[in-house]
Amino acid sequence: MLAKIASIVILSAFTFPTFSTAMGQDSSANELAREVIQHEVQAQEEDHSHWRYHQETKKDGKQEVKEVIETKDGSIERLVSINGRPLSTEGFLIHQGK
């Protein structure tokens, strides 16, 4: 991710060579790249958001869909369907114990 950001910043610096002058700053392209990367790293370190999503995988020839919920202590997941079919109550209870 950081490499991608750095590439974009560096390409932008070469594409728009008057960027630092237009901004009223005498920053070089390297300084600009460092500042952008530092800002992105800081934003990632301060991000404490949690996500909820469905994860699809193929396992033993079956397509499984799991619901994943991120918490501050790690991720929690549960199987919700196999081959496009929701789990029965019995299937849910069997997989819940794993």
**How confident is the model over 23-45, as pLDDT tens digits?**
555 568 889 999 999 999 999 88
pLDDT digit string, tens, across residues 52-98? 999 999 988 999 999 999 988 999 999 999 999 998 877 777 777 65
20 vs 80, which has greater pLDDT?
80
- In order, the DSSP letters of 15-83 are H-TTHHHHTT----HHHHHHHHHHHHHHHHHH-----EEEEEEEETTEEEEEEEEEETTEEEEEEEEET
Question: What's the chain's length in residues?
Answer: 98
Q: What is the pLDDT of residue 84?
A: 93
